[in-house]
């Protein structure tokens, strides 16, 4: 059991982070806190993707120059030593999307603050009625 | 040469045009309107070319930048998404023509930025529909959603809050989709839809695949506003500017239904959804509940646009429930209904836009005496209303007919009851409006004093009226030619069950 938790700790952290973010998005009344929750939620997904790319046993992302390639020709084809780079690349795109979402959300929060002079959701709803 | 590149032009042209729009607007503001129409015209023509090619020559594979499928991003266009491409670009084109006067009135300062977002939104929808790569689909889903949040936020009083809530729920939906992609990537190492569909059948026992499937379903249910997850929709679409709601309301939910069809029948095989997992039952129950809930809540509304939003919730129930029936007749009905619903919802929201352009509000009481004032708009409205109810020559009847036939085949009577109940409710909803339009006038005294005042025709501006009438004509045409549409397009889009 302990092995199960410690051995896959990065996945546990991803789940815990995601739930913290989810909780903040659902239950917080302040819009900025909701946005922070949203950001934590999205960051948890980045952790998840980076975790699935990782390989045990000292795999890295080696930078190969031409000299290296000639000197250790056999290393290039040894896949166990390479972390899968594709999930990282996907996350670069996802980070851009997340930043854009954050920007739109903050812009709308500013819009709401200018109109109602508050960032508490219940006060805005009261002002709307 | 150009014909070969048509698939990519459909998406690239609106994207590039969106980037150029602010620059053009900087020079001259009024260029933006013809520019947007031009861009979307190219997009519609490419989509029509692609549909034609697909009908005559079969599925098109377009490899982005010459990279071959499992590694590069691939656009795959079969009958289902060729149809969706024409629908999406056609809707966007009509709404673009329609937009001019309404935008000038509602957002005189922000025309340029509105059109930029408008084109980005269309790019997002087209990209979701055309792509053959699951991660690419996520990116386009977010482009469409982000443009949508911004478009909704610039609407009337209360729109920013509605948009904020949509952001929170929409982000959860998109993130769940992204997690689904991640779990699939763990077990398959692929992001290409065709590749996934080849690798996955051997892994259907794996828990990881099931988790991915569950994440996909919940994420999409949020995006398509399936009943208990619909809470963001009514506020957002009611308060958005009328042009924005005429663009987003017909397309967002239907594009999500398209993704659902793709997931259940292309990426995963029907064998997983219907035989290994009880998806049929879950979708059917969700659909039936959505139909009843949407119809009942629509009855309680006094705001016209809000009523339409709940009708959309019920219509999503039709399509999801229809997939849940799990036979090819019902799914034929679902695909036909996706097409019809895009056109019908477009018709309803263009009429709503005209009402709010003329009356500056959109409650049911604004329809007072409108049959005399705007005979053409109201004629179009009656055609659309009859189609939503499901009266024979209009297209709404035929998709309902297939859905009912499908549920008879599946032996499911509750779904038929739900369909008939919702049709009856629609009769009440729309005849109430028609009654207000015919028999109520502003007040009896003014009727006596100022006899001309009521009967003076003051139609909507031509640029708004023509697209609305065109939608009514398209509804009748789809109804009349539904057999050839099914024979040439839809029957190839339906999986063999």
* ipTM score assigned to the predicted complex: 0.90
Q: What is the pLDDT of residues B160-190, one digit of tens each?
A: 999 999 999 999 999 999 999 999 998 988 8
Please answer whether residues B162 and A107 qualify as being in contact, where contact means their C-beta atoms are separated by less than 8 angstroms: no
Comparing CB atoms, the residue among B178, B185, B186 nearest residue A94 is B178
Q: What percent of chain A has pLDDT over 90?
A: 46
CB contact under 8 A, B164 and A41: no
pLDDT given at position A71: 60
pLDDT given at position B450: 45
Dihedral of the alpha carbons of B57, B59, B63, B66, in degrees to the nearest 10: -40
CB contact under 8 A, A93 and B150: no
Please answer whether residues B138 and B263 qualify as being in contact, where contact means their C-beta atoms are separated by less than 8 angstroms: no
Comparing CB atoms, the residue among A34, A52, A112 nearest residue B168 is A34
Comparing CB atoms, the residue among B138, B157, B160 nearest residue A111 is B160
Interface membership of B19 toward A (CB under 8 Å): no
Rounded Cα distance, A67 and B391, in Å: 76
Write the class of the CATH domain A2-128: mainly alpha
pLDDT given at position B343: 93
Interface membership of A104 toward B (CB under 8 Å): yes
Which residue positions in chain A have pLDDT lower than 70? 64-78
CB contact under 8 A, A112 and B149: no
What token pair was written down for B23?
């620059």
Crossing angle of helices B242-262 and B207-224, rounded to 10°:
160
What token pair was written down for B67?
């990279």
- Residue A20 neighbours by CB under 8 Å, 6+ apart: A37, A40
Nearest residue to B207 (alpha-carbon basis) of B178, B176, B186: B186
Please answer whether residues B93 and B219 qualify as being in contact, where contact means their C-beta atoms are separated by less than 8 angstroms: no
Q: What is the mean pLDDT of each run of 10 residues along chain B (497 residues)?
A: 79 91 87 90 91 88 83 88 92 92 85 91 93 92 93 89 93 93 90 88 87 92 89 91 91 93 89 84 92 92 91 93 89 92 93 88 82 86 91 88 91 90 92 84 50 64 90 92 86 80
Provide the β-strand partners of residue B63.
B74
Chain B residues close to A34, C-beta within 8 Å? 164, 168
- Cα distances from B178 to residues A45, B129, B251, B258, in angstroms, run 8, 17, 21, 17
Chain A residues close to B240, C-beta within 8 Å? none
CB contact under 8 A, B150 and A48: no
Convert chain A into a string of H (helix), E (strand) and C (coil). CHHHHHHCHHHHHHHHHHHHHHHHHHHCCEHHHHHHHHHHHHHHHHHHHHHHHCCCCCCECCCCCHHHHHHCHHHHHCHHHECCCHHHHHHHHHHHHHHHHHHHHHHHHHHHHHHHCCCEHHHHHHHHC
CB contact under 8 A, B135 and A90: yes
Comparing CB atoms, the residue among B149, B172, B182 nearest residue A104 is B149
CB contact under 8 A, A38 and B160: no
Q: What is the pLDDT of residues B49-104, one digit of tens each?
A: 999 988 888 888 888 888 887 788 888 898 998 999 999 999 999 999 998 888 88
Size of interface A-B (CB pairs under 8 A): 70
What 3-state class would DSSP assign to B218? Answer: helix
pLDDT given at position A74: 53
Interface membership of B146 toward A (CB under 8 Å): yes
Chain B residues close to A107, C-beta within 8 Å? 150, 153
Nearest residue to B162 (alpha-carbon basis) of B224, B248, B250, B233: B233
Rounded Cα distance, B305 and B235, in Å: 10
Helix H or strand E segment including B151: helix B134-153
Chain B window 153-182: which residues touch A at a Cβ cutoff of 8 Å? 153, 157-158, 160-161, 163-164, 167-168, 171-172, 175, 178-179, 182
Tell me the backbone φ, ψ of residue B76, rounded to 5 degrees: -115, 125
Please answer whether residues B257 and B167 qualify as being in contact, where contact means their C-beta atoms are separated by less than 8 angstroms: no
What token pair was written down for A60?
């890295």
Q: What is the pLDDT of residues B237-249, one digit of tens each?
A: 999 999 999 999 9
- Residue B285 neighbours by CB under 8 Å, 6+ apart: B324
Please answer whether residues B396 and B389 qualify as being in contact, where contact means their C-beta atoms are separated by less than 8 angstroms: yes
Contacts of A23-27 with CB under 8 Å at 24 or more apart are: A25/B168, A25/B172
Comparing CB atoms, the residue among B153, B160, B182 nearest residue A52 is B182
Interface membership of A94 toward B (CB under 8 Å): yes
Provide the β-strand partners of residue B62.
B75
Chain A residues close to B146, C-beta within 8 Å? 97, 100-101, 104
Crossing angle of helices A86-116 and A31-53, rounded to 10°:
180
Chain Cα centroid distance, residue B493: 18
pLDDT given at position A57: 73
pLDDT given at position B451: 46
């Amino acid at each position: 059991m302990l092995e199960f938790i410690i051995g896959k700790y990065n996945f546990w952290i991803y789940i815990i982070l995601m739930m913290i973010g989810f909780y903040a998005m659902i239950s917080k009344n302040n819009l900025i806190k909701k946005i922070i929750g949203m950001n934590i939620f999205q960051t948890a997904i980045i952790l998840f993707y980076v975790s699935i790319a990782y390989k045990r046993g000292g795999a890295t992302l080696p930078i190969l120059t031409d000299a290296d390639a000639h000197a250790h020709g056999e290393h290039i084809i040894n896949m166990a030593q390479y972390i899968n780079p594709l999930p990282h690349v996907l996350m670069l795109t996802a980070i851009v999307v997340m930043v854009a979402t954050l920007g739109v959300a903050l812009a709308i929060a500013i819009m709401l603050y200018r109109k109602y002079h508050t960032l508490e959701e219940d006060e805005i709803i009261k002002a709307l009625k | 040469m150009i014909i070969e590149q048509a698939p990519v032009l459909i998406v690239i042209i609106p994207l590039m045009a969106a980037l150029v729009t602010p620059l053009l607007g900087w020079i001259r503001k009024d260029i933006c309107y013809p520019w947007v129409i031009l861009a979307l015209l190219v997009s519609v023509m490419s989509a029509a070319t692609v549909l034609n090619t697909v009908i005559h020559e079969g599925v098109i594979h377009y490899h982005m930048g010459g990279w071959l499928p499992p590694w590069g991003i691939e656009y795959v266009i079969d009958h289902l998404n060729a149809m969706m491409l024409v629908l999406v670009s056609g809707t966007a084109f009509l709404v673009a023509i329609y937009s001019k006067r309404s935008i000038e009135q509602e957002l005189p300062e922000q025309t340029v930025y509105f059109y930029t977002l408008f084109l980005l939104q269309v790019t997002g929808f087209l990209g979701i529909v055309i792509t053959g790569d699951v991660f690419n689909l996520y990116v386009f889903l977010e482009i469409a959603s982000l443009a949508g949040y911004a478009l909704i936020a610039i609407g009337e009083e209360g729109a920013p809050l509605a948009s904020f809530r949509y952001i929170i729920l929409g982000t959860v939906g998109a993130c769940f989709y992204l997690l689904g992609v991640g779990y699939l990537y763990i077990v398959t190492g692929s992001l290409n839809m065709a590749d996934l569909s080849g690798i996955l059948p051997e892994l259907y026992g794996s828990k990881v695949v099931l988790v991915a499937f569950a994440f996909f379903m919940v994420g999409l249910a949020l995006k398509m506003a399936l009943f208990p997850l619909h809470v963001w929709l009514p506020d957002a679409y009611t308060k958005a500017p009328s042009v924005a709601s005429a663009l987003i309301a017909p397309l967002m939910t239907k594009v999500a239904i398209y993704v659902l069809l793709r997931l259940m029948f292309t990426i995963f095989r029907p064998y997983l959804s219907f035989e290994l997992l009880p998806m049929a039952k879950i979708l059917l129950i969700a659909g039936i509940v959505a139909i009843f809930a949407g119809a009942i809540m629509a009855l309680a509304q006094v705001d016209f646009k809000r009523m339409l939003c709940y009708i959309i919730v019920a219509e999503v129930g039709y399509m999801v429930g229809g997939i849940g029936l799990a036979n090819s007749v019902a799914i034929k009905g679902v695909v036909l209904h996706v097409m019809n619903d895009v056109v019908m919802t477009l018709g309803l929201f263009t009429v709503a836009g005209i009402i709010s352009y003329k009356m500056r509000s959109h409650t049911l009481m604004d329809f007072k005496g409108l049959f005399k004032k705007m005979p053409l708009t109201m004629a179009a409205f009656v055609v659309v209303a009859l189609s939503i109810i499901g009266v024979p020559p209009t297209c709404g009847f035929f998709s309902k007919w297939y859905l009912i036939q499908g549920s008879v085949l599946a032996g499911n009577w509750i779904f038929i009851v739900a369909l008939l109940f919702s049709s009856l409710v629609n009769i009440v909803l729309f005849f109430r409006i028609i009654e207000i339009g015919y028999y109520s006038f502003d007040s009896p005294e003014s009727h006596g004093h100022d006899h001309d005042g009521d009967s003076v025709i003051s139609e909507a501006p031509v640029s708004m009226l023509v697209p609305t009438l065109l939608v009514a004509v398209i509804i009748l045409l789809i109804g009349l030619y539904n057999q050839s549409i099914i024979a040439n397009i839809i029957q190839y889009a339906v999986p063999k069950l």
